[in-house]
Amino acid sequence: MTTTTRVETQPQATTASAQGRQVVGFSFYRVDPAWRRLPGATKRKQADELCGVVNTYAKRLMVLTYSLVGMKADTDFLIWRVGTSLDQLQEMSGAVRRTELAGYLSMPYAYLSVTKRSTYVDKLDPEHQDQRRFIRPANSKYLFVYPFVKTRDWYLLPMEQRQGMMDEHIRIGSKYPSVRLHTTYSFGLDDQEFVVAFESDTPQDFLDLVMELRESQGSRYTLRDTPIFTCVAKPMPEIAKDFGTPP
């Protein structure tokens, strides 16, 4: 099978400048069970073609791949892409759809967002606001992703009141240094307001973080934070084995 790495170094064309922002896409795919009944040689050929597409676009975009086999009932893998334009993401999506395997793929979930400087002041790490304009993966083993929507009442609160609740949120997060947060924004681009992605090598720490955040004052203004996806970082050829490609 064609080999590929999970993460490619960002090409210069997709490295955001000091004033730039990035476009982010989370595409969750499901493989039709009928595909697993195809001859082994056919499955290997089609999986190789898909891996080749992922490898090609990883030279132009930031591309990370994750297996969800056994983690979520209705999706098998995630392709997380970061670029500088919507056109780049759409071009890659089109290339995936032109593969033979695409006849057996569906996309039960897809989320679109962009990076943005944080509205709130991080008093523990003042530079964090600017860092949010760039996705800098920690290359952790696990990724936890979910769309996020706040209530309209949240946006009607005075800024100082919102900042106070975010201060609590930031303090809680700082207790779990093994968990790295990537917050991206979807206002006007997709159905949710944010897409949050947490990287960690320790799922137990992430569970404890989420439990503690549920008790924070800001949690009363959460309208929706599901579905939640637990993703395992793997190169695309290994993911293909997970969903049924023979060795």
- pLDDT one-digit tens code per residue, 148-177: 999 999 999 999 999 999 999 999 999 999
Long-range CB pairs of 135-139, under 8 A, 24+ apart, other chains included:
135/22, 135/24, 135/62, 135/82, 135/182, 135/184, 137/7, 137/62, 137/64, 137/199, 138/180, 138/199, 139/7, 139/199, 139/233
Residue 133: pLDDT band by 50, 70, 90 thresholds? confident
CATH fold for domain 128-230 = Alpha-Beta Plaits (3.30.70)
Residue 13 reports pLDDT greater than 80: no
Other beta carbons less than 10 A from residue 223's beta carbon:
13
Q: Spell out the domain ranges in the chain.
A: 19-114+231-242, 128-230
For residue 20, the model assigns a pLDDT of: 79
Domain 19-114+231-242 falls under CATH 3.30.70.1030: yes
For residue 14, the model assigns a pLDDT of: 41
Q: Do domains 19-114+231-242 and 128-230 have the same CATH topology?
A: yes
How much is the pTM? 0.89
For residue 119, the model assigns a pLDDT of: 87
The CA distance from 133 to 3, in Å, is 31
